Amino acid sequence: MKTTYKAHLALLSTTLIFGFAYSIVKGLMPEMMSPKQLIFIRLFGGALIFWLFQRLFVPEKVERKDLVMLAVCGMFGFALNQALFYEGLNLSTPVDASLIHVLNPIMVMLFASLLIGERITWKKAGGIALGACGVLMLVLYGHPHQVNFNGNHTMGNILIFLNLVFYALYLVLIKPLVGKYHTTTILKWVSFFGFLFVLPFSIKPALEINFAAITPGAWAGIVYVIVLNTFVAYLLINFALKTLSTTVVSYYSYLQPVIAGIMSVSIGQEGITVPKVLAAMLIFTGVFVVNRTKKSV
């Protein structure tokens, strides 16, 4: 199998992992644990696995000058990205979160333009505007009886939007390092720095976790979050970045609302409303416009 095909297969697998994770994580909070407790467990477990895996199979060293960028990527891609996601999802819903994440390719294009000088055409700008309108509609009207910025649901959607902003920054900033070091070496340091950043805010809640009250099903969800949603997913993403552009990698987030929506509705976590459908149409239209401009630029 060609490397390109392997990269696309890796991204498809990652999309499925992320898509299922919305409802799994939502099921863990807040009954089993708080967002801060879950983020501590996820980053501690992820950092530990990455560190052991790299030490055993890829004993590679990094240059000191690159540690600064690895720390920045750890802050954006692990600490801020994941902390905001859990705090936001605790207040919002899996479908809303996955719809907002569809804007990820657009955010990646914006940051690629600002950081590496990629040109943005009027068509791209129009697609970005459409997507932004969709997110605004979802934030303001996506949940019944909460159409202002005082609602917890609205705040959750705002936090999820900030989560995708930092994840888009991570994808752009990590790209040069992916071509220089092995995937596991990068993730060892990125996860380590990410855990350090969240440690001051999550250590106290983590010490208060009632492990005796965690059900077997919840433990299965926690294992999924650490092993699949963190270790496997980030390995596959960084593997794909070695072959594909950041924009192509981000395009796979288009499938996440479909997966998350089907799972969330099927298990009765939420329903489908007219504002959500309209918001989804605007977001997908914006993404389609941006995608169509790729061949003409």
**CA–CA separation, 283 vs 128, rounded Å?**
9
DSSP helix/strand/coil, 149: coil
- Residue 145, sorted as left (phi over 0), alpha (psi -120 to 50) or beta, turns out to be left
Q: Is residue 261 part of a domain?
A: yes
Is the Cβ–Cβ distance between 19 and 256 less than 8 Å? yes
Domain range for 288 is 3-292
Model confidence over 208-254: pLDDT tens digits? Answer: 999 999 999 999 999 999 999 999 999 999 999 888 877 778 767 76
Within-domain flag for 297: no
Report how many domains make up the chain. Answer: 1
For residue 73, being part of any structural domain is answered with yes
Residue 259 inside a domain? The answer is: yes
| 53 found inside a domain | yes
258-275 confidence digits (pLDDT tens):
566 666 556 555 556 677
Q: Is 14 part of a structural domain of the chain?
A: yes
Q: Looking at residue 31, what is its pLDDT?
A: 86
* pLDDT value at residue 41: 96
